[in-house]
Amino acid sequence: MRQIVLDTETTGLEWQKGNRVVEIGCIELVQRRRSGREFHCYLNPEREFEDGAREVTGLDSEFLADKPRFAEIAQEFLAFIDGAELIIHNAAFDLGFLNAELERLPGLGRIEDRCRIEDTLLLARQRFPGQRNSLDALCRRLGVDNAHRVKHGALLDAELLAEVYLALTAGQGEIGFGEMPAARAADTTIPAAAFAGDPAQRPRVRVQAEELAAHQARLAALEKKAGRCLWRELEAASD
């Protein structure tokens, strides 16, 4: 499964008033793990910032003056996200701006024509109804370190959102299933016939101390992110 965690920064809050995108940040996840591929660019919006937007992003027209226009990077950006599931916090905001940019270019369509959309704000509201569910609030609640987030930045926010999303949807990917290479898995497979016959003769797997420590560390990380760990609760109930 290929997913793209996406964030944008803009000259103001409403694309309907002619505000433009000034930064795009994307992080690729493959099977719920970072692949190392990113897409990041600053853009010349060809207009001034609205009051307050400059302070939020830390960007200004002088810095962006020599940056490419959206039209110059549109094809590269679309190729990066094409066919993926987009993970966006408050998706209506980012999609509104990106689609407004695409509408200025003939024949490119809309983001929703190319990608499935997962809105982490909606996920958070389902899990934490009645609570604040901004990215900063979710970072604090789910144990994601955002101490270095002084200004809003598209790539930094996409990195934080990737961690928040994985914590919100913690499951097999978080526990680590599927991490073992296929060749190694084949080497360690025990035939079903080995479990027949005398129980005393059946193969036994002894857990090493470092393996047990790694297991407990993973459970602790899950518990910190999700607020609970079912595995630990079952272990405690069986004691």
The set of catalytic residues is 152
- For the beta sheet containing 85-88, the strands, ordered from the edge strand earlier in sequence to the opposite edge, are 33-42, 21-30, 2-10, 85-88, 116-119
Alpha helices, DSSP H only, in the chain? 53-57, 61-64, 70-81, 91-103, 120-127, 135-142, 154-168, 172-175, 182-187, 209-226, 230-238
> Between the CA of residue 15 and those of 12, 19, 43, 92, 134, what are the distances in Å?
8, 5, 15, 11, 21
65 and 89 in contact (C-beta within 8 Å)? no
- For the chain, how far is it from start to end, CA to CA, in angstroms? 38
Structure tokens at 217: 């560390």
Structure tokens at 88: 């966006």
Query: In sequence order, what are the beta bridge partners of 179?
Result: none
**What one-character DSSP code corresponds to residue 180?**
S
Residue type, position 239, single letter? D
**Pairwise CA distance, residues 190 & 186, whole Å:** 9
